[in-house]
Amino acid sequence: MRQFLRNHVFHNLGLKLFSLFLAVLLWLAVAHDPMAEVAINVPIEFHHVPENLEISSENIPQAQIRIRGPVRIIRELTETEIHPIIDLQGATTGERTYDLTSKEIHLPHDAEVVQIVPTQFRVSFDQRTQREVEVRPRVIGTFAAGYRISQVTADPKTITIVGPERRVKAIENAITDPVDASGVIGRATFTTHAYIADPMVRPVKSGVIHVTVVTEKSSRPGEP
> What confidence score (pLDDT) does residue 126 get?
95
> Domain map of the chain by residue range?
34-118, 127-217
Model confidence at 95: pLDDT above 50: yes
pLDDT class of 77 with cuts at 50, 70, 90: confident
Q: Tens digits of per-residue pLDDT, 175-214?
A: 999 999 998 889 999 999 999 999 999 999 888 999 999 9
Model confidence at 16: pLDDT above 50: yes
Q: Specify the CATH number of the domain 127-217.
A: 2.170.120.40
Mean pLDDT, the chain, integer: 86
203-215 residues labelled b (16+ CB within 10 A) or e (exposed): beeeeebebbbeb
Model confidence at 17: pLDDT above 80: no
Q: Is the fold of 34-118 the same as that of 127-217?
A: yes
Regarding beta strands 63-70 and 112-117, do their DSSP bridges make them parallel or antiparallel, or are they unpaired?
antiparallel
> What confidence score (pLDDT) does residue 217 get?
87
Judged by DSSP in three states, 208 sits in coil
Model confidence at 50: pLDDT above 60: yes
Q: Which CATH architecture group holds 34-118?
A: Beta Complex (2.170)
